[in-house]
Structure formats: structure tokens, C-alpha cells
Structure 1
Amino acid sequence: MNIVVTGSIAYDYLMRFPGSFKEHILTEALHQVSLSFLVEDMTKHWGGVAANIAFTMARFGISPKLMGTAGRDFPDYRRWLSEAGVDTSTVKQIDSVFTASFFCNTDEENNQIASFYSGAMALANQYTLAEALNGAQPDLVVVSPNDPQAMSNLTQECRDNDYRFVYDPSQQVARLDGNTLRHDMQGAYLMIVNEYEAHLICDKTGMTMDDLRQTIDLLVITHGGEGSEIYTNGDRIHVPAFAPTEIKDPTGAGDAFRAGFFTGLAYDRPLEMAGAMGALCATYTLEHIGPQGHRYNINEYVERFRQHQDDQGQLDVLLKHTVTS
């Protein structure tokens, strides 16, 4: 499949707070918040939703085209992604700005407070699929969090050209208004959101959960450690999570789930298997620091999967595309 993953490309600055945020947030004084958290450490990682998704997909022998805008500090990141198997030819480097940056503070209960500097991502609304693909026809376009106008432009371009697309607003749900969310999801083949985001979309658009299920051909709602629910053709498929051996950092787990799910679709696996593949990808990410810190190969992945679930040989196709590093 010719898969194009659009969205943010960023550097992640991850911090760890040795306490609980909720112990320092006074609900009766939320109108005047002034808080500072002294963190124990800070690490810098490759990140951005689109780049995270593309990186994990490349572990499975798929070379998705990463489409987005990055700044003058991107060359090292481009080399990292290219060596991992990601097609970075469709990343536009803009030398007048820096690459977007994500600053995230995680407490001991894995709650997170984050800020995002858009940088080069703010110019993504000037970059089209037509320019990036130069006449090539994609089989699937993933529209993940990006500059809000860029997301609207890309979903419209997909509709205009009859491209099959995934609408993945996730972190941008808080920023987008109801009319934009309604507009951008129209015609989407698939939407993946977590439970909170699904309820927020309903609140902003005035839609019910049933409305969402009827609007989107394939709707996936993730529930963290409780697994995920796949809704399609009036059916609901529950997919359990894979328990992690430990949780080092939750950043990027949702992106990894998406990558595993898209990989399952690319290899024409049943929806339940695609969901299970996403679940295990998310677990690997939870067990490592940073959204691109996992280094398993496909043999290890399949072996671990089969220790917990009988795939009835459905993952044999992956073993032909082993990534060894």
C-alpha cells in the first residue's frame, strides 16, 4: 500500500515530576492558577504524531511517506527516520524556522501536562498533497494532528480527489471547534480517538456517540489499559490491551497503537487482529522512554504476541519483513 502519513514532526522534551499533579491543583482556585513543578530530569527525543506513526510502521517492513513541515534543525532527524525505513522525501524543510517542539511533564501517576510550540508546523497549511506526491495516487492518507488549517485543507483535498483517508484529530480536538470537527470528519474511512476525545467531540459538535458511529465507516475508541473498541457496520469489537512489564513513559503510546492498526490494515488482517497489533505496539512504547525508543524486531514482536494470544498464523506475513535493529 502507498500510505501517506501527514501531521506533526517535532522534538519531544520529556520531564518527570516525582509527585502527583492533583495534589497541587486547587479546584476552588482554578480561576487564578500559578504553578511551577520542579522536575527530576529532562530528556530530548524524536517525536511528532506523524513521525511517531511512520517510525513504528517502518518496523514492519512498510515504508510510509511522511508528509509534513520541519525546520532548519531537521537534517539529523531526517537521517534517523530514513535509516529506520521511513520515506522522508515528502517532508518539506523550511530553513527560516525551527522544527516544532513538544514539552511534556509526567507525574508519578502518568498524568501529563504539556505545551506545544508549532514552529515549522504552522506553515503546513501551505503544503498540499498534490505538491508532495507529484501525481502519485495514495492508497491511504492519514490526517493526524497538525496545523488546524492544514488538517482541514488535507481532508478536503482527500474528498476532492476521492482519496481514502483517516481522520485522526486526537491532541488537536481541544483546539478545534465543533464546525471544523464536523467538516473534517466528513467522508473519512476511519477515525481513531481515545475515550475522552470522543466525548469532547460529541460535546463540541452536538453529536451523540451513535451519530459518530454512523458518520464514520470505521470508528476506533481507545480506553488505555482497558483496551479498545472498534465500531463498524453496526458491530462492536472489543480488543484487550497487552499488559506492560512496566510503564516508563506513556508519551506516544496512542501513536504506536495507530501504527500497529494501520499496519494490520496494510497487510489485510481482520479488524480484531489489526486492533491487537496496535495494542502490542502501544505496550512496547509504554515500556520505553520516548515515542521512538522501542527497538524490537518482528521476530520478537510475533513471539511476544503469541505468548499472550493465538493469532492462528495471521502474523506469519510479518515474518517476511523482519527488521533486525
Structure 2
Amino acid sequence: MSFVITGSVAYDYLMFYPGRYREHILPDQLDKISLSFLAESMRKERGGVAANIAYTMKLFGADPVIFATVGQDFGDYRRWMEENGLRTDHIVEIPNEFTASFFVGSDQDHNQIAIFYTGAMARAREFSLASRGLHNAQTVVISPNDPGAMLRYAQECRQLGIPYAYDPSQQIARLSGEELVESIPGATYLLCNEYELAMILNKTGWTLDELRTKVKALVTTLGKEGSRIYVESDEVRVPAARLEQPVDPTGAGDAYRGGLFAALLAGLSWEVAGRVAALCGAYALEHRGTTAHRFTPEEFIRRYAENFGPEPTLDRLFANRREAVGAFQATDAP
């Protein structure tokens, strides 16, 4: 059975402003805000939440299915994905549309201001898991996507009895309280950051304890404070991994999710999976772009030990990758 990731596949336009946004925001003028920041650098990267999560999972040897809609300009992105071993067989290309695009500026405190152009992603609601032959998936990740598609996939997973991870993230602003009340209960996992958690509670009217009863596991990232995982009646506190040199926060949350799911698929405990996720987030923070980080099994295990102590079960995390490399070397041998 396949591990399916639904969500955005997009081009990211990453800009850096060498100042602080907060120094230019007037609290008493928010009803007529008009700001322009001069960026000193810009890069165009391949991104999108679904692709970012899949990329980090692939670094561990996992083989997730990306289920997404893209536009007529996807050709170079498809070639890059295939060169990096990412599956594209369930990425649907929409004629006469452009691939979704994310425009974001980060300041020197790693605060961000962003605009997301939906493009071909708006057509995702026209496709179902069943129509793509994914009705028997092992798990489905519902990450930020067209809001209608996200609601459809949550309903479809419940109908088909497929465990799903609900990651509304950036789309919480677009989803109403009623829609969150409809789509969260029954999820195996709910993922959000601290601010998004507050928004969910505000929109639904639930308390934290009530929210915890709606899902099996609630995963909340806390930035520099690490993350917190509520699993049924337990609470797992995960420290942040030390950074060598922070560069760009874009995609760190996606890398965290990729590491978390890869570790859970390998059968690791929640404590270890959370720390694997934290270290993946640190790797992403140290690179500009959402899919620029890389590591060997030896590098990752060494750095994990430096941050959290030795962990013998990490060998299971890289088992598929080592098998794939071994098979490639055997096939490539003269």
C-alpha cells in the first residue's frame, strides 16, 4: 500500500529583506496598511508543501506518492523530480494553467510576508483518491491545497477508512470554523504550528483538551522551543535541534513533517520520530530553498547523537535507502 501526500506543488520565489518588518508596522494604521520592502536577493526554487514533504522522506529512502495538480510550465520541475527519484505518476498536468506560485519575503528575524497564487492547484478538487486508484492507500497526508480539495479528501478518507494526516497550515485562514469542525474529527494526525493551533481553537470554539479527543495525535511545532506531540493521553516534548548557521526558514516545517512521517513509517517511537523531525527542520533552515538540504545516513546519525544522544533504532530509518543504493550498485557493477 502507498503513502500518499496531497497538497501543493509550486514554484517558490524567495526574497530576503535585510531589516525588520516590525520596525515599519504602525499598529494604529493597520486598517490602511501600505508597505513595500526592498529585497536584496531573490531565488526561484521548486517547492510546494506536498513536494517538500516527499523530498525529505525520499532522503531516508521512503517512496511516497505525490497527488497534486500542476500547470503547463511544470516540465523542468518534473524532470528534476524524476532525477531525484520522486514519483510523478499521480501529478496531474492541467493545460492552459500555470503551476501554483509562492512569493515570500523573509526579514533578518526570519519573519515572513507571503502571497500564494493558486494557479492549477485550484483544479485539485476535480480529482479524487478513488479516481486515481489510490483508494487503498496506507496513509494520506492532506497538506495545504485548494480548500475544496482538502475537505473532499478528508471526507473521502473517512468513507474509505484510510488513516489521514490533516495539515491545514496556511489554509486555516481560508477554512471556516464549520469546515474545520467537519474535517478534523477522525484524522489520525493533526499538524500545525503554535499560531495555527490558536486559530483552530478560536475558529472551532474547542478547548485544547477537546481538540485532543478529535484526533489520535496532535503535533504542534513551536519554533525555537521545539515541538510538542500529544498522543492520546501522553505528551511528548521535543527539543529543537541546534543550528549550525540559519539561512532561510522557508520549508522548515515541511522538512519536519517529512522526517516525522519517514520515522513513523520505519516504526520508530514518537520520541525518536519527533527528534528526527526536529533535525530535518534544522537541515532545511540551514539552506536557502525548500529542497536544497541533503545528508548521508552517517551524517544524520552523527548529528542526531550530538543533539539528542545515540539512538540505535535509527538504522531502521535508513534501511530502505541502503537497500536501494545496494541494488543500484549491484546493477551498475561491471
Same fold, TM-score > 0.5, yes or no:
yes
What does residue range 176-187 of structure 1 map to in structure 2 within 5 Å?
176-187=175-186
Going from structure 1 to structure 2, the CA distance change for 1:311 and 1:128 (only over 3 Å counts) comes to farther
State the match for 2:282 in structure 1. Answer: 283
State the Cα distance separating 1:184 from its structure 2 match: 0.9
Distance 2:205 2:232 in 1: 22
Runs (4+) of structure 1 exceeding 6 A deviation are none
Give the corresponding residue for 1:84.
84
Could you list the per-position Cα deviations for residues 40-75 of structure 1 after superposition, in whole angstroms to 9, with x for gaps in the alignment?
Answer: 011000110011001110111011000000001112
Q: Alignment partner of 2:105: what SS?
A: strand
> Could you tell me which residue of structure 1 aligns to residue 99 of structure 2?
99
Q: Any idea what SS the aligned residue of 2:213 has?
A: helix
Matching of residues 118-267 of structure 1 within 5 Å: 118-132=118-132, 134=133, 137-267=136-266
SS in 1 for 2:283: helix
TM-fit CA distance, 1:319: 3.8
SS of aligned partner of 2:173: coil
Deviation per CA, 1:146-199: give whole Å up to 9, x if none: 000000000011011000100100111111110111111121000111111001
- State which drifts further: 308-317 or 143-152: 308-317
Maintained 8 Å contact 1:54/1:259: yes
Deviation sequence 1:206-261 (CA, Å, 0-9, x none): 01111111111111111011111111121111011101111100000000000111
Secondary structure of the 2:249 match is: coil
Q: CA deviation at 1:125?
A: 0.5
CA distance in 2, matches of 1:311, 1:160: 42
Contact 2:247 2:286 in 1 (8 A): yes
CA distance in structure 2 between the aligned counterparts of 1:79 and 1:301, rounded to whole angstroms? 27
Q: Secondary structure at the match of 2:299?
A: helix
Percent identical residues: 47
The answer to whether the Cα contact below 8 Å between 2:143 and 2:166 also exists between their aligned partners in 1 is yes
Paired letter, 1:219: L
Letter in 2 for 1:180: E
* 1:114 matched to 2:114: yes
Kept in 2: contact 1:110–1:250 (CA 8 A):
yes
Alignment-mate amino acid for residue 240 of structure 2: A
Letter in 2 for 1:282: G
RMSD: 1.3
Q: Which residue of 1 aligns with 2:10?
A: 10
> In the TM superposition, what whole-angstrom CA distance separates every residue of 1:1-53 from its partner, at most 9, and x where no partner exists?
62000000100000000111111111111111111111101100011001100
Query: Which residue identity lines up with residue 45 of structure 1 in the other structure?
Result: E
Query: Matched residues in 1 for 2:294 and 2:76: separation?
Result: 19
Q: Which moved more, 1:299-308 or 1:101-110?
A: 299-308
In 1, Cα distance between the equivalents of 2:177 and 2:49? 22
With 299-308 and 102-111 compared, the bigger mean Cα shift is at: 299-308
Question: Are the equivalent residues in 1 in contact too, given 2:67–2:90 (CA < 8 A)?
Answer: yes
Q: How do residues 40-79 of structure 1 correspond to structure 2 at under 5 angstroms?
A: 40-79=40-79
Q: Take 1:40 and 1:70, find their aligned partners in 2: how far apart are those partners?
A: 30
Residue deviations 1:279-303 (CA, integer Å, cap 9, x gap): 0000000000011011222221112
Counterpart of 2:239 in structure 1: which amino acid? P
Judge conservation of contact 1:59–1:84 (CA < 8 Å) in 2: no
CA distance in 2, matches of 1:169, 1:61: 26
The answer on whether the counterparts of 1:60 and 1:263 sit within 8 Å (CA) in structure 2 is: yes
Instruction: Show the counterpart of 1:318.
Output: 317
CA contact (8 A) 1:98 1:120 kept: yes
- The residue aligned with 2:39 is 39
Contact kept, 8 Å, 2:129 with 2:135, in 1: the verdict is: no
Q: Give the count of matched residue pairs.
A: 323
The one-letter code matched in structure 2 to 1:58 is K
Distance apart, 1:317 and its partner CA: 1.6
Contact 1:47 1:292 in 2 (8 A): yes
CA deviations 1:65-89 (Å, max 9, x no partner) are 0000000111211121222222110
Cα contact 2:13–2:104 (8 A) shared by 1: yes
Tell me by how many angstroms 1:136 deviates. 5.5
For residues 245 and 253 of structure 2, what CA distance do their matches in structure 1 show?
17
Distance 2:265 2:186 in 1: 20
TM, length-normalised to structure 2: 0.94
